[in-house]
Structure formats: C-alpha cells, structure tokens
Amino acid sequence: MAELTEKKVSPLAMPSKVGTPGPACIVLRMAARKERPQNLSVHELIERYMSSYAGRDSTRVQRLAAWQRMAGSFTLEQCDIDLMKAARDEIARTPAYIYKGRDHRGESVHALKHRDKPMNAATVNRYLASISAVFTWAIEQDLTPKGFTHPCRGIKRLPESDGRVRFLDQAERTALFEAARQSRYPRLHAFILMAMKTGARRGELMALTWRDVDLRAATARLGRTKNGDGRTLVLLPDVVQALTPFVSSDLDRYVFGSVRSKYQRAASLDSAWRFALKRSGVKDFTIHGLRHCCASYLAQAGQPLNVIADVLGHRRLDMTRRYAHLTTQNKAGAMLAALGDIT
C-alpha cells in the first residue's frame, strides 16, 4: 500500500465553516475597505505624481505646472472631460512658462516665456498627454474616488503636421566636422559624430559616464531616458575611434565632461556649438537636428519606420512618421530602377 504523504494547502484555499468568512474573503473585504484620499485636488495629485516620477522628461515639470495653475483647485470628483477640454484650450492660449528649478521651500519656480505665435497642435497634445499620465497613475495607485472615470479618455488628439525636418547635406556635414575638430572643446567632434550616428538626445549623451560605455562591445547604455525607458546605443567603428582618446579609468566621469572644471560635471556645449556653426557656415541648425540627421539618413537608405523608431527610442510609431516621405522617395527610386523598363 502506497505511503500517504501530507499535502500542504494554502490557507486561502482552505474551506471555512458555513456562514463564516474564510481568509480569502477577509482579504477581499479588507481591500474593499481600503481608504482613499478624500477631496484630493488636482494640485495635490500632481505633487504626489512628481514625487514618484522616475522619467527624465524635463518638460513634464513645466507642463504639469501649467495644469496646476489652470485646474489645480478642482478636486478629482469635479474632473470630467468637459473640464479637461476647457483647461486644455485655455493652456493653448496662455503664454508659456519655463521651469527654473525650485525655491528654498521646494516649490517649483517658473519664468514667463515670451511667445509671439500660438502654441502648435503637437505641443498642446503633449500637455494633454502629461495630465492624462497623471490620472492613469492615480487610478493605478487607488488615489481616485470609486467609480472614477478617466477624464482624458475620449478627448481626441489635435491633428499635427509632420513638422519640419532639417538635416545636413554632405557639404554641410564635412564643414561642421572640420569646425568641430578645431574647437577648444576637444570632444565636440566626438559628440557630434555620436549624436548623428546614434540618434540619441543631447541630454542622454551628456548624462553618459564611462561606466555606461563599453567600447569593446561598441555599445553605450542609457539609463532612464526622456520617456522613462532604458536603451542601448550601438556605436559604429568611427564613433568608437573618436571616443577612444578620451577614455577615463574613473568610471564615474562623464564621457562629455567639462575639461576646465576640477569637479566632475557635464560640459556646457552652447558656446562650442555656436563657434562650430559660425566657422562651418551652417545656418539654421540645432544640436537636436543631429537626431533628425540620424533618422533622415536611415530613411533615405530605405530602412523601415519601425527600425528608425527603435534607433531613436520612440514609443509610438506616429512620432517617426515625419520621416515617411524620405522612405517613400527612396522606395520610388528603387522601384523605377528595378521595374521602370518592364513593359
């Protein structure tokens, strides 16, 4: 006869006496009785959200501050789709503010930014997305009243234009690279080359330390990016070659650190960048344009939008569609070369 063995049973699965609630029922009742904040205002909710925000999107502070000014006094019970639409439209008409840091009390400080033209649709959509993320987080954290309906659901995004894509042609690239090599900041050429060939944002590159970079594996690991995700950059051979002279044994040093300060801090590229633009003769071009260069060159080479989105770290493919016309032009040329003579 087989020997009987004792079978362990989870307390939640154990039967209870008739009419007596079991452990599982008790857990459910305790969850149901969980107290939620009463009369929580939008201002207070945003403060809670930002205290736990782990992303690196510096514009989120500025945008949520606008929502605090516009709708901060309303409680969550008062928030509905009509309020969000009205507040969004009012924000679109209000002069922009720039986040300047925090004061001695820890309060956010913003300065008025002069704006001669109305806020474009893309920016308005970003403002709405920022407050929508707050309400989504609040629902997940059980900070909203029971039966709370997300007030941003059902608000359609405003139609956006593809936006302006400025990238350098071959002559401009050659001139800019040459000017960067003559810069008083010795790492400017390496920075421009890396930005152009990885598509990384300025802030992402400036935050890199040598601990994040593996030149043997030809990779650089980004921590928290603007959208809150981690990402690995692929370093092409010429980028590795450009970085090699600056490698530090101190892994905590910034890859693009200041060469003048004895303290470990990232460099300020503004003056070096302006010098390089003036010397090269390149007009109407920003550091962020290097990211556009990366995407545009990939599109012109026939790479699909999903690959470009992956390189740039875009969460949504619609953010990459501004480069679609470049892939279409390349596709048309390829089709003409391969199929044009067929009759």
pLDDT tens by residue, 128-182: 999 999 999 999 999 999 889 999 999 998 887 665 678 899 999 999 999 999 9
- Distance, in Å, from the CA atom of 181 to the CA atom of 75, rounded to the nearest integer, reads 56
Domain ranges of the chain: 42-140, 170-338
Question: What fold characterizes domain 170-338?
Answer: hpI Integrase; Chain A (1.10.443)
Contact 289, 168 (CB under 8 A): yes
Which residues share a beta bridge with 109?
101
- Distance, in Å, from the CA atom of 314 to the CA atom of 293, rounded to the nearest integer, reads 15
Contact 35, 123 (CB under 8 A): no
pLDDT at 189: 97
From first CA to last CA, the distance across the chain in angstroms is 85
- Distance, in Å, from the CA atom of 268 to the CA atom of 260, rounded to the nearest integer, reads 11
The DSSP annotation for 107-149 comes to -EEEEE---SSPPPHHHHHHHHHHHHHHHHHHHHTT-SPTTPP
Over the stretch 60-102, which tens digit does the pLDDT of each residue have? Answer: 888 999 999 999 999 999 999 999 999 999 888 876 655 555 5
The DSSP annotation for 41-94 comes to BHHHHHHHHHHH-----THHHHHHHHHHHHHTTSBGGG--HHHHHHHHHHHHHS
**How many CB atoms are located within 10 Å of the residue 130 CB?**
20
Percent of the chain with pLDDT over 90: 43
CA distances from 269 to 131, 168, 230, 242 (A): 32, 19, 24, 17
pLDDT at 71: 93
pLDDT at 166: 84
pLDDT at 9: 46
Beta sheet of 219-222, edge-to-edge order: 213-214, 219-222, 231-234
pLDDT at 214: 96
* Mean pLDDT, rounded, for 236-242: 95
pTM of the predicted model as reported, rounded to 2 decimal places: 0.60
Pick the residue with more confidence: 340 or 174?
174
pLDDT at 5: 46
- Distance, in Å, from the CA atom of 293 to the CA atom of 226, rounded to the nearest integer, reads 19
| Consecutive H or E run containing 99 | strand 97-102
